[in-house]
Amino acid sequence: MIHRHGIHHGDTEARGGLLHEELTEQVIGAAVEVHRALGPGLLESAYEECLCHELHLRKITFERQVPLPVEYKSVKLDCGYRIDLIVENALVLELKCVEHVLPVHEAQLLTYLKLTSRRVGLILNFNVSVLTRGGIVRRVL
């Protein structure tokens, strides 16, 4: 695992550069702006609403609360899963307001990537004093 600028990166990327690096940086910039304005301590839904507004201001397209059916024995079943945000049809975002990002949160993100056939995802944990110090986890499938 590589650690750079307070962001944890997956091991599977090519040496030539990070997949969706520019988009990831734009989204992190938007999230940092929201976190600077609000600080920690609010509900996840408040950060989601503000992040969506910030992405809109930056003209970054996204889908919000995207249903994620589970396929079981060739049948797609609605099990109530929702992806917080998919940005530019490429980057999966999972927003959290937790004391620590746990392995189960990372497993959730990797499952969302697998089920959507997307490669890159971010966990943004807004319940930290500085977002770029432990509040961002980047994973690549």
Residue 41, domain extent? 2-140
Q: How many domains does the chain have?
A: 1
Sheet holding 136-140, edge to edge: 2-4, 7-9, 136-140, 120-125, 91-96, 82-87, 62-67
Q: Which pLDDT tens digit goes with each residue over 57-78?
A: 999 999 999 999 888 898 988 8
Eight-state DSSP code of residue 46: H
Instruction: Tell me if 31 sits within 8 A of 125, measured CB to CB.
Output: no
Q: Which pLDDT tens digit goes with each residue over 6-22?
A: 334 444 344 445 568 89
The average confidence (pLDDT) of the chain is 87
**Rounded to two decimals, what is the model's pTM?**
0.83
